[in-house]
């Protein structure tokens, strides 16, 4: 891996890279925007691109897509996509009102609101389905790849997040690729936020996941390298309106974004 994927953690060096700037252009984001959410989208896209997943007729599954630009981006490459999000009733819960914050997708039309993909191509390549990530429907199978952007930390607990990672493997073909980003607690490897609408995973949690995934025959790429440039050392605080926003302080902890790249065991078809 090179340039954008020299690390699986959001860093200033990656956000300044030509690869990052190129993906920003493709998803209609302004360049030089040092925000971890933008990095997550670009990280997922680059990880899939490097593994030949973004090509015509590849079958992809997006979890908790909200109104992110990745569905339209992947559709523009010719991928056949099932985009999913939780149902509207769940999305309106007062402890995580994703509808009020404009981060929930209830239908397929909002997923191309940036005009990234030709409307006819988008209509041919994308379907939408409501999905509870804690109870993935058994019919969601045989995908070449799947992804989520900062979603599995919102499932209720660290253990539920881990279980999602193990469960989503059933959706992939042998050799399929999963790319998921989430919250990384850089303050502590012992105490953390758990059993809430948002949890912070520790290094020990990722190491446990990696060990379990490897025992299941998977290959996992994860790197805990933190940057030391000025933007890496800045910690944003409420109301989180600063640029850069690579790390942030919440409830006594500093968190940043981390990505997991997982290949399911078995030969590619």
Whole-angstrom CA distances from 57 to 65, 81, 125, 227 are: 20, 9, 9, 37
Question: What is the SS3 assignment for 37?
Answer: helix
* pLDDT tens for each residue of 124-173: 999 999 999 999 999 999 999 999 999 999 999 999 999 999 999 999 99
Torsion of CA 76, 85, 199, 33, to 10 degrees: 30
* pLDDT tens for each residue of 173-213: 999 999 999 999 999 999 999 999 999 999 999 999 999 99
Q: What pLDDT was estimated at residue 107?
A: 72
Confidence of residue 1 (pLDDT cuts 50, 70, 90): very low
Q: How many CB atoms lie within 10 A of CB 148?
A: 29
Distance of CA 21 to the CA centre of its chain: 18
In CATH, the architecture of 3-263 is: 3-Layer(aba) Sandwich (3.40)
And the tokens for 115?
């005009």
Q: What pLDDT was estimated at residue 104?
A: 44
| Distance in angstroms (rounded) separating the CA atoms of residues 52 and 268 | 12
């Amino acid at each position: 891996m090179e340039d954008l994927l020299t690390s699986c953690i959001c860093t200033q060096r990656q956000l300044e890279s030509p690869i990052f700037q190129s993906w920003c252009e493709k998803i209609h984001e302004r360049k030089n925007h040092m925000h971890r959410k933008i990095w997550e989208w670009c990280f997922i896209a680059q990880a899939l691109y490097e593994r030949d997943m973004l090509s015509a007729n590849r079958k992809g599954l997006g979890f908790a897509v909200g109104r992110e630009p990745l569905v339209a981006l992947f559709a523009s490459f010719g991928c056949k996509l099932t985009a999913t999000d939780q149902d509207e009733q769940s999305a309106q819960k007062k402890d995580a009102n994703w509808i009020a914050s404009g981060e929930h997708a209830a239908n397929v039309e909002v997923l191309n609101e940036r005009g990234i993909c030709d409307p006819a191509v988008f209509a041919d390549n994308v379907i939408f389905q409501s999905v509870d990530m804690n109870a993935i429907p058994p019919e969601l199978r045989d995908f070449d790849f799947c992804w989520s952007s900062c979603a599995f930390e919102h499932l209720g607990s660290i253990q539920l997040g881990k279980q999602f990672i193990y469960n989503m493997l059933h959706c992939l073909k042998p050799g399929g690729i999963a790319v998921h980003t989430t919250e990384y607690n850089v303050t502590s490897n012992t105490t953390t936020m758990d059993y809430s609408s948002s949890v912070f995973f520790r290094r020990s949690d990722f190491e446990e996941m990696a060990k379990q995934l490897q025992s299941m025959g998977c290959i996992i790429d994860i790197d805990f390298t933190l940057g030391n440039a000025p933007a890496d050392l800045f910690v944003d605080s409420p109301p989180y309106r600063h640029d850069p926003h690579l790390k942030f302080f919440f409830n006594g902890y500093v968190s940043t974004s981390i990505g997991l790249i997982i290949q399911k065991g078995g030969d590619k078809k």
